[in-house]
């Protein structure tokens, strides 16, 4: 009997265990003993069934579900002509299934508490699954998913989601009527006051206080939604001058009491020195509080800070904004100390720096900030970069941040500010449903007419899923999240007022996600979408997604938008579902992941500039959200190369980032790239190249996985994707 099978098995509770052949033998023997002796199988037949299944499982490149193994057992018994035994086995399975359905959440929750549900505990690389607050969130999520599956969602959506045809995102928050991402209106809350935990917070009287209030706002917002959020430093900039004037009065008073000179130049010099210290303390408060604050869902807020000099008027206000940006970059480059006292790369906040005419070339006014940004990127993987030039071309002359890592609001003529610019701050995203483009291609079996027919059917399925998200939010009363709906983060609604008007007319977006454009082209045309013969097809598919969003929008007055999904655990789930449905297809389903959105495949050899230029055309067709990246080695000693990439981003693509490496081994002090290797069971593990340490608790690894930096390690599918990445520079 073949006992040497290294493939893992995924149990019903999500736990991943080593394949155990003896369990098959025991199950068949149990069924065998229940039939009359004349109909029983002999021991050789039972062993043959088990060996055949071991051979099948051993050929699979991925972990196999226990249900699939049980299907193999049924077929194996039938092939041995053990019909009566097969009947007993089927009845046993049925009885067990009925028993499990009596309470669908028990096993899932218990496996979370024991920290053995690999799929759930690795679905988010910034959540530590061991700590109590995270487990409470996951437990609530299991209940929400169960309610959503059994009661709240149509069967067709649930079935399509479970088969990996679509992905209905964040069903663990669906029952609670929560929404996705926010672009918070910090200006309104700071200038006009807000309320936090029933306590009135008036307009701050100093920059430091404004920073402190900002961190409290961010934590409150994060506890009332499940996605990312962004705020701009431009909304903090006015408080620098408030502090300057306050400090100047204090300096004059002190010097007068001491009989010292009140000459303006001296007073100004002392004031500016103290002001810089306050700015330093304020930014330090933001950095440390946003890392150490924990929201009700057991994680630091997924927050992005926007740095755009031209967002404020030229003059003192812009100089003050430049001062804040400089301090943010200096402190981020330093990093934060971990429990061992080692300076490491923090995951949050994410930083976005806007490249514009006044900072993108040497000799421009704010070139010193751009050089500092390049040094920070080389060491700490942020900031990421938005090109003001390209964004203005694509967004009706506007420049504004995404609502987190990549989800962008649409420019709406129905949503305007008093100054004549379009309104962005205070708007949000209702949620996401993602179409698996690889499944569309595989289902059509390469037939182009069939492909377009299936694509339209699947898009309508996504549409129905998105309608479920929208309708779940309808009727939500503003009282459920006062910080969002009543006190300025998103709106100033009255108590008892519903949020419905914010779900229409362009105030919020709702996102049609997509994944696997590369594999889709490989299945349909046998070529990557970077090939000139496949590129038009890929662009046509993207256009079809946009056409559908426009059609739904015009019919319903809801702002549907195409969104390049930042898949994390979903990439593994989609890959496993594809392999189950279609087997292994070279270049299509032969990995444990599929490619995010429109990206060039991680293993494809292409230089950085060609990659950015190629992907720019696809960003245009992903208006609801997209980000491109290039994979680079350690660039700390080659800042001119980083600057040349940044200049290229400014001229060619709206939004991009550089993926550097920032790891540390606690066992030997190695500071470099920690590598991925395959262990004796076939599982991918992280290993220090210096001392061979493989204990994840004794190493720090940071990788960009979905726009944000992840630091809590990843599932096997995403780990393989990281391992397969090639350098572009």
Give me the catalytic one of 41, 80, 402, 403.
403
Give me the catalytic one of 429, 478, 528, 561.
429
Write the CA distances from 114 to 110, 135, 178, integer angstroms.
Answer: 6, 10, 28
Write the CA distances from 46 to 1, 4, 76, integer angstroms.
Answer: 10, 17, 9
707 is catalytic: yes
Residue pair 49/80 in contact (Cβ under 8 Å)? The answer is yes
* Residue 202 CB contacts under 8 Å (≥ 6 apart), including other chains: 193
The DSSP result for 508-568, as a single string, is EEEEEEEE-HHHHHHHHHSS-TTSTTTHHHHHHHHHHHHHHHHHHHHHH--EEEEEE---S
C-alpha triplet 308, 383, 286: angle, nearest 5°: 80
Please count the other Cβ atoms lying within 10 Å of the Cβ belonging to residue 259: 7
Q: Helix, strand, coil % (nearest 5) of the chain?
A: 50, 15, 35
646 is catalytic: no
376 is catalytic: no
181 is catalytic: yes
First to last CA, the chain: 50
DSSP strand E in 655-700: where? 655-659, 664-665, 675-678, 684-687, 699-700
Residue pair 610/645 in contact (Cβ under 8 Å)? The answer is no
407 is catalytic: yes
Cα-only R_g, the chain: 28
* Token code pair at residue 255: 């010097």
Residue 307 sits at φ, ψ, to 5 deg, of -125, 100
Give me the catalytic one of 82, 426, 707, 710.
707
Give me the catalytic one of 125, 144, 180, 212.
180
What is the C-alpha separation between 465 and 446, in angstroms, rounded? 26
What is the C-alpha separation between 105 and 594, in angstroms, rounded? 29
* Token code pair at residue 297: 């869902």
387 is catalytic: no
Residue pair 13/105 in contact (Cβ under 8 Å)? The answer is no
What is the C-alpha separation between 125 and 718, in angstroms, rounded? 10
- In which region does residue 63 sit, left (phi positive, over 0), alpha (psi from -120 to 50) or beta (all else)? beta
- Asked whether the bond before 665 is cis by omega within 30 degrees of 0, the reply is no
Residue pair 231/303 in contact (Cβ under 8 Å)? The answer is yes
Give me the catalytic one of 84, 123, 568, 631.
568
The DSSP result for 351-412, as a single string, is EEEEE-TTTSSTTSTTHHHHHHHHHHHHHHS--EEEEHHHHHHHTTT-----SSSSBPPPP-
Give me the catalytic one of 80, 381, 391, 405.
405
Half-sphere exposure of 605 (CA within 13 A, CB side): 0
Instruction: Give, for 420, the enclosing helix (H) or strand (E).
Output: none
What is the C-alpha separation between 308 and 288, in angstroms, rounded? 22
496 is catalytic: no
Please count the other Cβ atoms lying within 10 Å of the Cβ belonging to residue 676: 15
Residue pair 437/452 in contact (Cβ under 8 Å)? The answer is no
Residue pair 499/449 in contact (Cβ under 8 Å)? The answer is no
* Residue 54 CB contacts under 8 Å (≥ 6 apart), including other chains: 2, 3, 5, 19, 21
Give me the catalytic one of 407, 561, 569, 693.
407
DSSP strand E in 243-396: where? 303-307, 336-337, 343-344, 350-355, 384-387
What is the C-alpha separation between 405 and 519, in angstroms, rounded? 24
What is the C-alpha separation between 386 and 721, in angstroms, rounded? 26
Give me the catalytic one of 41, 181, 635, 688.
181
**Residues marked as catalytic:** 180-181, 403, 405, 407, 429, 563, 568, 707
């Amino acid at each position: 009997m073949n006992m040497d099978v290294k493939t893992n098995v995924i149990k019903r509770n999500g736990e991943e265990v080593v394949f155990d052949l003896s369990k098959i033998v025991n199950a068949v023997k149990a069924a065998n003993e229940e039939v009359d002796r004349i109909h029983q199988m002999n021991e050789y037949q039972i062993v043959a069934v088990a060996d055949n299944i071991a051979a099948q499982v051993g050929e699979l490149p991925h972990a196999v579900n226990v249900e699939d193994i049980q299907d193999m057992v049924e077929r194996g018994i039938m092939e041995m002509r053990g019909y009566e035994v097969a009947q007993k086995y089927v009845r046993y399975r049925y009885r067990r299934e009925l028993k499990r359905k009596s309470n669908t959440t028990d096993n899932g929750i218990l496996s979370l508490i024991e920290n053995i549900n690999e799929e759930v505990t690795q679905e988010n690389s910034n959540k530590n699954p061991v700590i109590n607050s995270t487990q409470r969130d996951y437990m609530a999520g299991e209940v929400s998913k169960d309610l959503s599956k059994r009661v709240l969602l149509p069967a067709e959506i649930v079935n399509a989601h479970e088969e990996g045809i679509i992905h209905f995102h964040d069903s663990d928050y669906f029952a609670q009527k929560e929404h996705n991402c926010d672009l918070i209106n910090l200006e309104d809350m700071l200038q006009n006051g807000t309320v936090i935990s029933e306590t009135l917070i008036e307009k701050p009287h100093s920059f430091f206080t404004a920073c402190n209030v900002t961190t409290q706002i961010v934590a409150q917002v994060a506890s009332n939604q499940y996605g990312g959020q962004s705020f701009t430093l431009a909304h903090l900039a006015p408080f620098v001058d408030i502090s300057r004037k306050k400090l100047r009065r204090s300096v004059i008073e002190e010097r007068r009491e001491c009989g010292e000179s009140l000459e303006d130049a001296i007073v100004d010099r002392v004031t500016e020195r103290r002001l810089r210290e306050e700015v330093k303390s304020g930014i330090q408060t933001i950095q440390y509080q946003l890392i150490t604050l924990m929201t009700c869902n057991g994680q630091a807020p997924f927050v992005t800070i926007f740095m755009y000099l031209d967002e404020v008027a030229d003059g003192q206000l812009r100089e003050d904004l430049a001062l804040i940006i400089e301090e943010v970059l200096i402190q981020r480059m330093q990093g934060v100390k971990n429990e061992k006292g080692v300076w490491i790369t923090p995951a949050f906040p994410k930083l976005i720096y806007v490249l514009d005419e006044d900072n993108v070339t040497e000799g421009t006014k704010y070139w010193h900030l751009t050089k500092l940004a390049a040094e920070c990127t080389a060491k700490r993987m942020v900031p990421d970069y938005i090109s003001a030039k390209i964004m203005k071309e694509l967004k009706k002359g506007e420049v504004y941040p995404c609502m987190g890592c990549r989800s962008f609001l649409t420019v709406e003529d129905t949503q305007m500010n008093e100054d004549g610019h379009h309104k962005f701050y205070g708007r949000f995203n209702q949620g996401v449903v993602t179409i698996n483009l690889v499944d569309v291609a595989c289902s059509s079996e390469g037939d182009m007419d069939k492909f377009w027919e299936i694509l339209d059917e699947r898009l309508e399925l996504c549409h129905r899923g998105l309608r479920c998200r929208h309708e779940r939010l309808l009727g939500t009363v503003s009282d459920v999240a006062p910080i969002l709906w009543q006190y300025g983060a998103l709106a100033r609604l009255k108590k008892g007022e519903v949020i419905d008007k914010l779900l229409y007319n362009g105030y919020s977006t709702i996102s049609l996600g997509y994944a696997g454009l590369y594999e889709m082209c490989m299945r349909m045309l046998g070529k990557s979408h970077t090939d000139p013969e496949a590129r038009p097809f890929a662009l046509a598919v993207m256009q079809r997604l946009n056409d559908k969003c426009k059609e739904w929008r015009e019919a319903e007055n809801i702002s549907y938008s195409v969104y390049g999904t930042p898949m994390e655990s979903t990439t593994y789930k989609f890959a496993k579902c594809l392999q189950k449905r279609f087997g292994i297809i070279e270049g299509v389903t032969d990995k444990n992941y599929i490619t995010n959105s429109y990206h060039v495949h991680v293993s494809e050899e292409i230089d950085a500039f060609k990659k950015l230029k190629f992907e720019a055309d696809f960003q245009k067709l992903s208006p609801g959200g997209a980000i491109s990246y290039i994979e680079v080695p350690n660039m700390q000693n080659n800042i001119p190369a980083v600057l040349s990439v940044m200049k290229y981003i400014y001229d060619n693509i709206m939004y991009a980032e550089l993926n550097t490496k920032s790891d540390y081994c606690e066992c030997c002090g190695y500071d470099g790239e920690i590598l991925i290797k395959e262990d004796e069971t076939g599982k991918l593990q992280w290993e220090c190249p210096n001392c061979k340490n493989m204990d994840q608790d004794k190493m720090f690894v940071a990788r960009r996985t979905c726009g944000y930096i992840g630091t809590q390690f990843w599932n096997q599918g995403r780990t393989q994707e990281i391992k397969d990445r090639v350098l572009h520079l």
